[in-house]
Structure 1
Amino acid sequence: MTTIYDIAKKTGYSPTTVSKAFNNYSDVREKTREEILRTAREMGYLPNAHARTLTTKKSWTLGVLFVEGTGVGIRHPFFGAVIESFKQVAVAKGYALMFISKDVGGKQSGYLENCRIHGVDGVVVFLSDYEDPYFLELLESDIPTVILDYETAQSHTVCSDNTAGAMLAVEYLTSLGHSRIAHISGGLNTIPGRRREEGYVAAMKTHGLELRKDYIVEGAFYALENGYAAMQRLLELPDRPTAVFASGDLLALGAVMAARDSGLSVPEDISVMGYDDIELARYVTPALTTVRQDTASLGTRAAEILLASIDRKGTGMEAIVLPVEVVVRESCAPPGEV
C-alpha cells in the first residue's frame, strides 16, 4: 500500500510537506501541492479520512442545503451550473459534499441537528423559504455559511446584481423602440424576484414610460408553466405589450410558447427577454435574448468564501454582488418589425 513516505521519495519533498499538501496548509505553494496530488493519484494513494480528521480537526465535508419550490430541484439549469462550479473548487481543496435535509434517521429534526450529527465544516445554502425556522436556527449557529441570492448580515452572501440586470433588460428593449413593456415577475417572496421587479420599475420610470399594474404578472417559482400562464394574461389585455421581460429564462420560454399558441410570432409580433442565460436559451428557436448571470463565478466565489471562513481567514461577513450582462440573440426586435 502506498504511503506518504513513498510519495515523498518519488517527488523529493519531505513527508511533512506531503502531509501538509494533502491537508491544504497555506504554507505549501500551489505548484508544489498540485505536483504532490498528481503523483499521489498516479501511485494510487488513498488518504485515510479518519487520520485527516484527527490531524486537522475537520470533517472535510461541506453541507449543501438546497430546497426550491418548483419541484425541478437540482435539475434546474441555473442551480445545477452554480452547484457544479462550487463543487469543483471544494473537491480541488479536498472536501466532499453532502446534501442537508430536515430529516435525520427518518425523523424530522432540523438542518442544524443534521449538520451537527454529520460534523460538516460549513454549509452553502440555496433555499426558497428563508423564513423557515429551521433555516433561521442554522443561520444563528456557529457553523460557517454562505448563502446564494439572499441578503443578511448574519452570513456571507453571494448574488448577481439583480436590480442592475433588470434595468439593463428594460434599457435594451427601449433601445429597440419599445414603450409598452410588461414584466413577468418571479415573485416578491425571493430576493432575486423582488430586486428584478424593482429594477424593472426603476428603469420604466427613468425612461418616462407608463407603469401599468396589469403589465406586471407573477410567474411563481420561475416555472415554465407559470411563464406560460402569465403570458396568456398579458395577451388578453386590450392593448397588449409589444415586449415582455421575464424574471427567469424558464418563464421566458413559457411566454414564447404561449405567444405561439395564441398565433403570434416571436419577435415579429411580440419580443420576449429572459434572465439567467441557461444553456437551453441559445438552442431554442428563436434563440433567447437574456441577461446573463455568471454561474461559474457565483459558485466559485461562494466556495472560496466558505472555505476561507472555515479556516478563519478574514473578518466580518462578505456580501458579494457580481455584475451581469445582456446577451443579444433572436427573441427581441423593434415593435412591428417583420
Structure 2
Amino acid sequence: MNKRVTIKDVAKKTGLSISTISLVINNKGNVSEETKQKVLQAIEELGYYPARSARSLASRKTGNIGFILTEEHFSRSEPFYTKIFLGTEFESRAYNYYVLLTTVPTQFSKSAIPRFLLENNVDGVIFAGKINQKYVKYVEELGLPYILVDYDLSGKKVSAVMIDNVGGGEMATDHLLKLGYRKVAFIGGDIEHPSIRGRFEGFKKALEKAGVECAVDMCVVEEPDTRVINGYRACEKLFTKLKPEAIFAANDAMAIGCLRFLKEKGIKVPDEVAVVGFDDIEACIHVEPRLTTVRVDKEELGVVAVKHLVEMIRKPNSGINRVYLPVKLVVRDSCGAKKKGFYVFDDSKIDESLI
C-alpha cells in the first residue's frame, strides 16, 4: 500500500519550512518566484495533493473556478470553445485551481443553475461564448467575480476577454482587396453577437478605406447561426442575386459551408471565387482548397481569462478588466494569393491523429 504524501515530504525534498510550503500552496506571502517554482516542481514530482477542505477552512476559498457555456456551444463540431477550456485548464494549474466545467441551456431556467453555484463551491466564474444575461445576473447576486470570453453584454460594462474582431475583419478584407478583388461579399449569422458584428464592421471599414461600395446585396447576414449549414445557405442566397469575386465568411464553419455550395455548383475556388474565413480551426487544413483565414489563439483566450479572474478573486476591488487579443492572417489556397504571385504565410501543422 502506497504511503500518502504529506506537506512534510514536500518540505523535506525542498529543504524549506512547512510554513513556506503552505504559503506557496495558498498563494500567500512574499515568496520569490524561484522558491515558488521549486515547491510546485516538488509537489508535482511527489504527487502531493493538498487537502481542499483544509485550505477552504483556512482561506475561505474553495480553490475552484466555474466554467460555463451553453449546450449549443458545447455540442458544436468545431472545437473552438474546447480549446478555450483547455487554456483555462492549463493556466489554472499555475494558481493551484481546479476548473469545473458545466453547460446550461440557451434559455435561462432556475432548474439549470449549475450545482457548483448553488453549493457555493467556486471562487469565480468564466462564461465562454454567448450566454443568457440572467445567468450572469445570478452570479452577480452571489457576489462572485466573473469574466466573459468571446462575448460582451450590451449596455453593461463587464470584465471580458475579447478577440480583435474589427481588426481581424478589416485584415481579411484588406487582403482580398490587395489581391485585386472588388466585388467582395460578406456572409454571417447571429449578427447581434459582438464577435460577428465586429467582423462585419471590420469588413465595411476596409471597403470604405479602399473606396469600394458596400452593396446591400453583397451582405448576407440573416442566418440565425454560424454553422456549416448556415454558411451553405448564406452562399446559396448570395448567388441567387449576383456573383461576387470573393467572399469573407464570419467564421470558418460558414466558410466551409460556402466551399461545399460552390463545389456542388461547379464554381472553382479560388479561380472563380476566393473565400476567406475567421478562427483558424483544425478543419481549415483538411478542406480542399485549404482555407485562408484569420487565426485566433483560442487557448490564449482561456489563459488570459484565468489570469484576470484570479486577480479579481485575490483583489475584490481590482475593477473591470477588458482585454482584446490580437489576431493573425493565415494565407492558404482558397484566396488565390499563390496564383497571383503573392507571398503565402502558412505555419500550420497537420495533426496526424486526425488523418
TM over 0.5: yes
Give the letter for the 1:77 counterpart.
P
Give the TM-score, by structure 1 length: 0.90
Find the counterpart in structure 2 of residue 226 from structure 1. 230
Find the counterpart in structure 2 of residue 146 from structure 1. 147
Task: Please give the alpha-carbon distance, in whole angstroms, between the structure 2 residues aligned to 1:26 and 1:251.
Answer: 50
1:68–1:185: structure 2 CA closer, same or farther, 3 Å change rule? farther
Structure 2 residue corresponding to 1:235, chosen from 225, 239, 246: 239
Q: Is the 8 A contact 1:70 1:222 kept in 2?
A: no
User: Residue 324 of structure 2: SS of its match in structure 1?
Assistant: strand
User: Residue 268 of structure 2: SS of its match in structure 1?
Assistant: coil
Task: Please give the alpha-carbon distance, in whole angstroms, between the structure 2 residues aligned to 1:119 and 1:163.
Answer: 37
Deviation per residue, 1:168-224 (Å, 9 max, x gap): 111110001111111011322211111111221222222222222221113432201
Q: Displacement, 1:140?
A: 5.2
- The correspondence of residues 1-338 of structure 1 with structure 2, limited to 5 A, is 1-25=4-28, 27-67=30-70, 69=72, 72-73=75-76, 76-100=78-102, 108-109=110-111, 111=113, 114-130=116-132, 132-139=133-140, 141-152=142-153, 153-218=156-221, 219-237=223-241, 239-312=242-315, 315-333=318-336
Q: Is the 8 A contact 2:14 2:39 kept in 1?
A: yes
Alignment length (residue pairs): 331
Pairwise CA RMSD of aligned residues? Answer: 2.4
1:69–1:204: structure 2 CA closer, same or farther, 3 Å change rule? farther
User: Residue 195 of structure 1: SS of its match in structure 2?
Assistant: helix
1:293–1:71: structure 2 CA closer, same or farther, 3 Å change rule? closer
Q: Is the 8 A contact 2:68 2:104 kept in 1?
A: no
1:46–1:133: structure 2 CA closer, same or farther, 3 Å change rule? closer
Task: Please give the alpha-carbon distance, in whole angstroms, between the structure 1 residues aligned to 2:103 and 2:332.
Answer: 40
Give the letter for the 1:47 counterpart.
P
1:144–1:204: structure 2 CA closer, same or farther, 3 Å change rule? same
Task: Please give the alpha-carbon distance, in whole angstroms, between the structure 2 residues aligned to 1:305 and 1:112.
Answer: 22
Q: Is the 8 A contact 1:102 1:109 kept in 2?
A: no
Q: Displacement, 1:271?
A: 0.5
Give the TM-score, by structure 2 length: 0.86
User: Residue 275 of structure 2: SS of its match in structure 1?
Assistant: strand
User: Residue 275 of structure 1: SS of its match in structure 2?
Assistant: coil
User: Residue 119 of structure 2: SS of its match in structure 1?
Assistant: helix
Task: Please give the alpha-carbon distance, in whole angstroms, between the structure 2 residues aligned to 1:208 and 1:68.
Answer: 42
Q: Displacement, 1:311?
A: 0.6
User: Residue 222 of structure 1: SS of its match in structure 2?
Assistant: coil
**What percent of counterpart residues are identical?**
31
User: Residue 63 of structure 1: SS of its match in structure 2?
Assistant: strand
Give the letter for the 1:166 counterpart.
G
Q: Is there any run of 5+ residues in structure 2 with no aligned partner, and where? A: 342-355
Q: Is there any run of 5+ residues in structure 1 with no aligned partner, and where? A: none
